Amino acid sequence: MTPDQLLDCLDPGQRAVAETAGLPVGVIAGAGTGKTRTVTHRLAYAALTGQLEPRATLAVTFTTAAATEVRQRLEALGVHGVQSRTFHAACLRQAQYFWPQAYNSALPQIVENRQGLIGQACRWIGVPDTPAIIRDISQEISWTKQTNVLPEEYVELARDSRRAVMRIGPDDVADAIVAYEQLKQAACVIDLDDLLLCTVALLSNRSDIARQVRNTYRHFVFDEFQDVSPVQDRLMELWVGDRDDVCVVGDPAQTIHSFAGARSTYLEGFVASHPGSIDLKLTRNYRSTPQIVQFAMDTGRPTVRLTPVRASGQAVERAPSSDRLEESVDTVMWLKKLHREGVAWDDMAVLFRTHAQAEAIRQILADEQVPFDYQANDHAPVQARVHVGTLHAAKGREWSVVALCGMDDTTMPYALARSPQQLAEERRLLYVGITRAEDRLRVSWPMTVDGRPTGPSRFLPPM
């Protein structure tokens, strides 16, 4: 395949991105606009034209599945050797190699599941160690590390940011964080968030190590850049150094990890902060029908408007039910009807805001003998089952048929989302859920929750 033939399958916007090898580029890529195809063709085109050495290229993604997909697509295009990794995987590789060189000792053992240590810390300070509290404290630990917040600064900053953990105050959260760090230190272990900080320290404090890394990698792509944290942005700058061949790609309308420190400003401000950069946009949506695209635009109100490419399809279904049980039954009946019409089970997904909403729908799916998986991870095999779980876990995926359940105003937005910034993130999360659908979308909500009346989410457009 010649370089020109490689680009023939791209639209003008995608082609503009693919032809910018050697220059810093910031790309705003709307939902369903072929972001992965564009990124891989950019790398392949540069390799075929001699502007890029694959083994000196680092492509950074947010999930293992995305890293694998980039690698497989490049290999299908005849490009081998590109290092496609998540931030954590890239940091693990570098920290394990360079830590002994810097400190004359092996990198400390990494605890991938820290719930046990957090539970121990909670019991130590007299805080309930329920799964929900442990999960929320784990989230706060990530936030402090991803945003460089010290434990002693947590209380004031958490109050200013209106961060909240159910049933315990910021003082208790701060104490739990301190206790967790003490337990971790006593056990001589680090967690995955520490891994990023360790790599930043190695590259910041040792110019010889930074020089070795920059001699290894000369070409860079960063995917989902709207969700990078201050620590991850710092890593990007340390890896890239004064190199010009860097491309960052993402969609501010899909920033859904601000609770963990993500800031879309790094993507939106990339061109301004990197002189000589090119600002490009992908706006043609190839994934969804025009009806779904318009519903997403009316709901999410993104700054970059999507242009649907597909032919007209079915209207988005809005389905109120009397309560959560009836909503679950109605949803499963809808899925079964579509399956009888020929839609495969694994082309369907049921998405909701919180884990607590899963119980009713899972029970009905089981009762009706509908095969399903729940919140399958990156390594789960593809099976003929209805899919994933929460809206957050659906990011980066797509299905022919999507049912959004529990979209009432007591749940979407989430009860603890109160500030304008938190509410804006909830709206973006709903936008992400809507744009997972290719052909059919059903949005449902109960009219009563726990015996109290409610209505559709305030984010949904008027009927």
- Cα angle 447-451-457, degrees, rounded to a multiple of 5: 35
109-144 tens-digit pLDDT: 999 899 999 999 999 999 999 998 999 999 999 999
pLDDT of residue 103: 92
344-372 tens-digit pLDDT: 999 999 999 988 888 889 999 999 999 99
pLDDT of residue 344: 96
31-53 tens-digit pLDDT: 999 999 999 999 999 999 999 99
Q: Which residue has the tokens 């409610």?
A: 454
What is the pTM assigned to this prediction?
0.90
Arithmetic mean of pLDDT, 154-175: 85
CATH tag for 3-91+195-282 (out of 1.10.3720.10, 3.40.630.30, 3.40.50.300, 3.40.30.10): 3.40.50.300
DSSP summary character for residue 407: -
pLDDT of residue 261: 84
Q: Is the confidence at residue 282, as pLDDT, over 90?
A: yes
Q: Name the E strands within 41-150.
A: 57-61, 83-86, 109-111
- Over the Cα atoms of the chain, what is R_g? 23
Q: Which residue has the tokens 């279904």?
A: 317
CB 430 within 8 A of CB 407: yes
Q: Does the domain spanning 290-453 belong to CATH 2.60.40.10?
A: no
Q: Is the confidence at residue 175, as pLDDT, over 80?
A: yes
* Both tokens assigned to 245: 């061949």
What phi and psi values does residue 317 have, to the nearest 5 degrees?
A: -90, 130
187-233 tens-digit pLDDT: 999 999 999 999 999 999 999 999 999 999 999 999 999 999 999 99
226-258 tens-digit pLDDT: 999 999 999 999 999 988 999 999 999 999 988
What residues does each domain of the chain span? 3-91+195-282, 113-187, 290-453
Taken in order 105, 106, 109, 112, the sign of the CA dihedral is positive
417-450 tens-digit pLDDT: 888 888 999 999 999 999 999 999 999 999 998 8
369-391 tens-digit pLDDT: 999 988 754 444 556 899 979 99
Asked whether the domain spanning 290-453 has the same topology as the one spanning 3-91+195-282, the reply is yes
CA–CA distance, 237 with 254 (Å, rounded to integer) = 23
Question: Percent of the chain having pLDDT more than 90?
Answer: 79
pLDDT of residue 416: 81
DSSP summary character for residue 168: B
Q: Is the peptide bond before 413 cis (omega within 30 degrees of 0)?
A: yes
CB atoms < 10 A from the CB of 312, how many?
A: 9
pLDDT of residue 157: 86
CB atoms < 10 A from the CB of 274, how many?
A: 18
- What angle do the packed helices 170-187 and 115-125 form, to 10 degrees? 120
pLDDT of residue 453: 92
| pLDDT-derived band at 160, boundaries 50, 70, 90 | confident
User: Average per-residue pLDDT in the chain?
Assistant: 92
pLDDT of residue 2: 84
Distance of CA 357 to the CA centre of its chain: 21
